[in-house]
Amino acid sequence: MKTISELTTFYYNKLHPTIEKLEDERKTIQKRLISFGLLYGVVVVGTAFLFFKTPQAIFFIYIAILFIAGMSYLYNYLTKTYVQKFKQEVMAPLIHEIDENLNYQPTKHLPEAHFIRSKLFASRPDIISGNDLVSGKIDDVDIAFSDLHAQRESQDEDAEDDFETIFMGLFLVADFHKNFKGETIILPDSAQKIFGNVIGHWLQANTTSHYELIKMDNIAFEKEFVVYGSDQIEARYILSHTLMQKLLEYKQRSKYPLYISFVGGKIYMAIAYYNDMFEPSVFHSLLEYKIAIQYIQTLHLALSIVEELQLNQKLWSKI
Amino acid sequence: MTTPLIILIVFIIILILMYNSLVAKKNQVDNIFASVDTQLKKRYDLIPNLVASVSKYMDHEKSLLEDITKLRSEANKSDLSEKEKIDLDAKVSKTLGSIMVAVENYPDLKANENVMHLQHSLNEVEEQIAAARRAYNQAVTDYNNALEMIPTNFMANAMGYKQKDLFVISETERENINVNDLFSKR
């Protein structure tokens, strides 16, 4: 697989003419957005003065709501084609550069079934949205990932339609190279971090919603994650010392909470960025290194798991 | 009148809970050992096949092959204790390792499809044994801890529970089993 530096070179060399064109467009949109924004601001404040003669708290609330709602509509309206072009002309070639067999669908996302099957999140989502679906085969291993935002209706006392986020970030599914029947779920370890080993373990063992607690024999891994599973031996068959080490390294590279599960012959991974990835902002240039490297790194992180976790090294019995 | 009674009931409940947790830990160890045993048997079943395939080629390692055959027949005895099984497993792992290293010296053997298939099967069983051993060690550690820690140690003493042995996890097992090395021979 291509390295991050190779991809960065591709981004700045091959994609440069496209990005320059997009850059001009971005500047125009930015200017338009600012001038429309100022104009709209004057209108909102002006009408506010017409309705409320003396400034009260409600006066400022009125201004804030109208302004934010109007601006976000305006932003989406003005940037729509820019975002589309970015995805078609920058993201798609970048993904094909990593592997030409990969398929990129900017408006699609992974189906809800994957999210539920992964068993990573206890609550069932009421709404699933997302975009930037990448799917295909790397080294003969099926892999797919997308941005995903899972929400559920919250049971508020005032019975308003409020939505609570269950998960937001990158969700990934790939074939796993070992045979297994049971289910193994790896979650970020919060109990052990807060309460220390003894009480942490006790708390983990006594959460009823999950399977049996499985204590792993890698101290660093145990600190970072908590493992639940239906089978003590199978969980260790899947989580060999090598894989634990790799997952730890992966976690350190991703820098965000990492959820992993092994269900039905597949590995599911959820990286909780709490952000919609691969969306360009008109306030940042695509030529900025910081921005470019973020797209590249995120893509690379997701697609490198096949190589990193050696998912391509199929066992004899699975050939 | 009622206070001593309540204290007595609480005390009995604590005793019951302690007793149950000890039994659960012991059963967990037995349970997992049964799985280890199944995996070990799977490996023992592969041995005659392996010996048959390699003995034609290996002239200098006859003693190794005799050793492994002897170990296998020992392991097939029905009245072995857990400790004996654990010791046997360590010896078998070591001897099998030496045989696999020896195979490297015979290009014909390395290219033999039957041997290759056996190697892969052994490799996979080995991984499953490794997982089962690790699960067993964790269960034994939990059990042994309960035997030493207050207050369960008093109860365990009264129940006549004894500390159990751990499998020794070799350094090579902790290292990465590189499947690439195996496949590069194809």
Distances from the Cα of A75 to the Cα of A23, A84, A281, A295, angstroms: 17, 14, 10, 21
Averaged pLDDT for residues B151-156: 86
Distances from the Cα of A205 to the Cα of A120, A218, A240, B39, angstroms: 17, 18, 22, 27
Are A168 and A256 within 8 A, CB to CB? Answer: no
Whole-number pLDDT of residue B27: 92
Lowest mean pLDDT among A72-81, A186-195, B102-111, B117-126: A186-195
Give the integer Cα–Cα distance in Å for A164 and A153.
6
A183 confidence band (pLDDT: 50, 70, 90): very high
A262 φ, ψ (degrees, to nearest 5): -120, 105
- Which residue in A237, A310, A313 is closest to B127 by CB distance? A237
Of A284, A224, A216, give the one whose Cα is nearest residue A255.
A224
Give the integer Cα–Cα distance in Å for A123 and A121.
6
Say if residue A308 is exposed, middle or buried (CB neighbours under 10 Å; 0-12, 13-18, 19+). Answer: middle
Averaged pLDDT for residues A253-268: 91
Are B54 and B65 within 8 A, CB to CB? Answer: yes
Instruction: Determine whether the interchain pair B135/A236 forms a contact, defined as Cβ–Cβ distance below 8 Å.
Output: yes
Highest mean pLDDT out of A45-49, A194-198, B43-47: B43-47
User: Residues B111-150: pLDDT tens digits?
Assistant: 788 888 888 888 888 888 889 989 999 999 999 998 998 8
B137 CA: distance to closest CA in chain A (Å): 9
Residue A38 pLDDT greater than 50, yes or no? yes
Give the integer Cα–Cα distance in Å for A93 and B128.
42
What is the percent of chain B where pLDDT is above 90?
17
- Radius of gyration of the CA atoms of chain A, in A: 23
Instruction: Determine whether the interchain pair B132/A233 forms a contact, defined as Cβ–Cβ distance below 8 Å.
Output: yes
Among B124, B144, B168, the residue to mutate for chain A (most A Cβ within 10 A): B124
A110 CA: distance to closest CA in chain B (Å): 31
Whole-number pLDDT of residue A185: 92
Residue A268 pLDDT greater than 90, yes or no? yes
Instruction: Determine whether the interchain pair A233/B135 forms a contact, defined as Cβ–Cβ distance below 8 Å.
Output: yes
Here the tokens at position B133 are 């051993």
Among B32, B119, B171, B174, the residue to mutate for chain A (most A Cβ within 10 A): B174
B53 CA: distance to closest CA in chain A (Å): 19
Instruction: Determine whether the interchain pair B131/A217 forms a contact, defined as Cβ–Cβ distance below 8 Å.
Output: no
Residues in chain B within 8 Å Cβ distance of A180: none
Whole-number pLDDT of residue B181: 46
**More confident: B116 or A184:** A184
Whole-number pLDDT of residue B182: 44
B173 CA: distance to closest CA in chain A (Å): 9
Supply the mean pLDDT for chain A: 86
- Radius of gyration of the CA atoms of chain B, in A: 23
Q: Is the ipTM of this complex over 0.90?
A: no
What is the residue extent of each domain of chain B?
32-183
Residue B100 pLDDT greater than 60, yes or no? yes
The residue of chain A with its CA nearest to that of B29 is A232
Averaged pLDDT for residues B94-110: 83
Instruction: Determine whether the interchain pair A233/B131 forms a contact, defined as Cβ–Cβ distance below 8 Å.
Output: yes
How would you classify residue A262: left for phi > 0, otherwise alpha for psi between -120 and 50, otherwise beta? Answer: beta
Within 10 angstroms of residue B43's Cβ, the number of other Cβ atoms is 21
Residue B177 pLDDT greater than 50, yes or no? no
Within 10 angstroms of residue B181's Cβ, the number of other Cβ atoms is 9
Residues in chain B within 8 Å Cβ distance of A232: 32, 135, 138-139
Whole-number pLDDT of residue B184: 42
A241 CA: distance to closest CA in chain B (Å): 6
Residues in chain B within 8 Å Cβ distance of A241: 173-176
Are A187 and A226 within 8 A, CB to CB? Answer: yes
Residues of chain A that touch chain B, judged by Cβ-Cβ distance less than 8 Å: 215, 217, 232-237, 240-242, 310, 313, 315-317
Could you give the dihedral angle defined by the CA atoms of residues B8, A207, A221 and B27, in that order, rounded to the nearest 10 degrees? Answer: 50
Whole-number pLDDT of residue A262: 94
Alpha carbons within 13 angstroms on the beta-carbon side of residue B73 total: 5
DSSP codes, chain B: -HHHHHHHHHHHHHHHHHHHHHHHHHHHHHHHHHHHHHHHHHHHHHHHHHHHHHHTT-STTHHHHHHHHHHHHHHT-S---HHHHHHHHHHHHHHHHHHHHHHTT-HHHHH-HHHHHHHHHHHHHHHHHHHHHHHHHHHHHHHHHHHHSTTHHHHHHHHT----PPPPPPHHHHS---HHHHHTT-
Here the tokens at position A184 are 């193994």
Averaged pLDDT for residues A149-162: 74
Give the integer Cα–Cα distance in Å for A244 and A217.
10
Averaged pLDDT for residues A223-251: 90
Tell me how many residue pairs between chain A and chain B have CB atoms under 8 A apart: 50
Averaged pLDDT for residues A255-280: 91
Whole-number pLDDT of residue A169: 93
Are A141 and A1 within 8 A, CB to CB? Answer: no
Instruction: Determine whether the interchain pair A241/B174 forms a contact, defined as Cβ–Cβ distance below 8 Å.
Output: yes
Lowest mean pLDDT among A59-63, A109-113, A180-184, B3-7: A59-63
User: Residues B30-49: pLDDT tens digits?
Assistant: 989 988 888 888 888 888 88
CATH of domain B32-183: 1.20.1440.20
What lies within 8 Å, CB to CB, of B73 at 6+ separation is none
